[in-house]
Structure formats: C-alpha cells, structure tokens
Structure 1
Amino acid sequence: MYPPKNPVLLDLAALRGLGIDLHRVTLWRLEKRNKFSKRLKIGATSYWRADQIEEFISKSS
C-alpha cells in the first residue's frame, strides 16, 4: 500500500492530546526499535504521520 500523497502530520502536543504521554526520549527509543512511527523533522519541529499513530494506538489497546 502506498502512503497518502498529503498525509496528516501530528506534532508532540497532538500526540499528547491522543493520550500518548511519553517523553521525547522514550519515543525516540521506541522509534529506534521500530515499535513507533518514525518522526519527520520539518524545521525544528518533529511530526508523526497520523495514520501510523492511529495504527500504534489500535495495537496498544
């Protein structure tokens, strides 16, 4: 399946709004182990793809 052409991106505040209240370092460690979506850096801000975050939430519950 191909990724969407214009994926919805979530910043750290949006992740916390979805109930993912993990520290930045914890997120980085999960990303490194391929257990969490890889972040996209745009300027100084990190973003995550919403579709991958929804998949993570559904797997964790």
Structure 2
Amino acid sequence: MLVARRVGLAPKHRERQLLKDLQAKDRQLEAVKKLAQETVGQLKKVEGQLQENDGQLEKV
C-alpha cells in the first residue's frame, strides 16, 4: 500500500475513481443527448413554419 501511494492511487481506489469518472461522463452524455433531441425538435418546428411561410409567399 505504501508503494502504491508513492506511485499514485491504490488499485482499488483507482478503480472506484475511474468508475465515478465514467458515470459522470455517462450523465454528461445523457444530458447532451437530451439537449440534442430538444434542438432537433425545435428545428423541425422552425422548418415547418418556414415551409408554411413559403406556401403563403407562393400564393402572393
């Protein structure tokens, strides 16, 4: 254990820290995925509005 402290983290502690880091990254990715889905939804709404505006302009 003393040697492990000199070189860095003890193996078990390093595994726990890596697991925590991965879980944090996973939460971040889920948040980004949710934001991306919301953005796509908003873009589709805007696209629909633009198509509607194009249709109205063609009538004029």
* TM-score strictly above 0.5: no
Question: Which structure has more helix as a fraction of its residues?
Answer: 2
TM-score under structure 2 length normalisation: 0.24
Which of the pair is proportionally richer in strand?
A: 1
Work out which of the two has the higher radius of gyration on C-alpha atoms and give 1 or 2: 2
* Higher relative contact order (Cα pairs below 8 Å, separated by 6+ residues): 1
